Structure 1
Amino acid sequence: MNFEFSNSNRPKSLFPLGQVVATHGALDLLDRSATNAFALLQRHQAGDWGDIHPDDVTANREAVQHGFRILSSYPLGTQAERLWIITEADRSVTTLLLPSEY
């Protein structure tokens, strides 16, 4: 699935997302948890990377500055399943996926 974004009411973007795609598992989790994918993408792009290890926060900050891959992890639903968002180093693609689909 591909998404389009408008520039209205967006938080500051630290990096471009490129083409946004999602796996079937991610779409299913978003649907089951009634979660707005656009809101998570805006958090990811603004530097709110969810629930990640402090070392990953440091790595993401360096990635924003130096053009490496960026990872976010958000717990969703009543069973605290996780949704990952990964923006590739070249910023061509951002993928929403489950950790088991990596």
Structure 2
Amino acid sequence: MTREVALRRENKDFDKFVNDSIARYARCDWGDTCDEDKMTNDYAVKNNDRILAVYKYNDTTTIWIITEWDRSVTTVLFPSEY
């Protein structure tokens, strides 16, 4: 995860949100991702493409979880850090 996300995890509620989001991601629950992107992610899991999921903490805070096509790295970040 990025430094900014890690720093925000000092807040217990946000930390729980991040942990829950990662667990959902591991179950192929793509969160607040649009339907078309959910289908793209389902395809990507089976065909080694890049995966990007969206999870909204509240009206002003969203995280993205991105896994690269070769599965070499998964990153949790704020959209503004992309």
* TM surpasses 0.5: yes
How much does 1:54 deviate?
1.1
Question: CA deviation digits over 1:43-67, x for unaligned, max 9?
Answer: 1011111101111011101101100
Larger relative contact order (C-alpha < 8 A, sep ≥ 6)? 1
Give TM-score scaled by structure 2 length: 0.83
Aligned counterparts of 1:72 and 1:90: Cα–Cα separation in 2? 17
Do residues 62 (structure 1) and 67 (structure 2) align? no
Aligned counterparts of 2:35 and 2:61: Cα–Cα separation in 1? 20
Q: Where do 5+ consecutive residues of structure 1 fail to align?
A: 1-21
Rate the CA distance shift 1:29–1:72 in 2: closer, same or farther, 3 A: farther
Structure 1 residue aligned with 2:61: 81
Computed over aligned residues only, the root mean square deviation of the Cα atoms, in angstroms, reads 1.7
Aligned residues with identical type, % of pairs:
38
More helix by share: 2
Question: CA deviation digits over 1:46-90, x for unaligned, max 9?
Answer: 11111011110111011011000111111114x441010001111
Aligned counterparts of 1:30 and 1:76: Cα–Cα separation in 2? 12
Give TM-score scaled by structure 1 length: 0.69
Give the ranges of 4+ consecutive aligned residues of structure 1 lying more than 4 Å apart after TM superposition: none
Aligned counterparts of 2:73 and 2:49: Cα–Cα separation in 1? 12
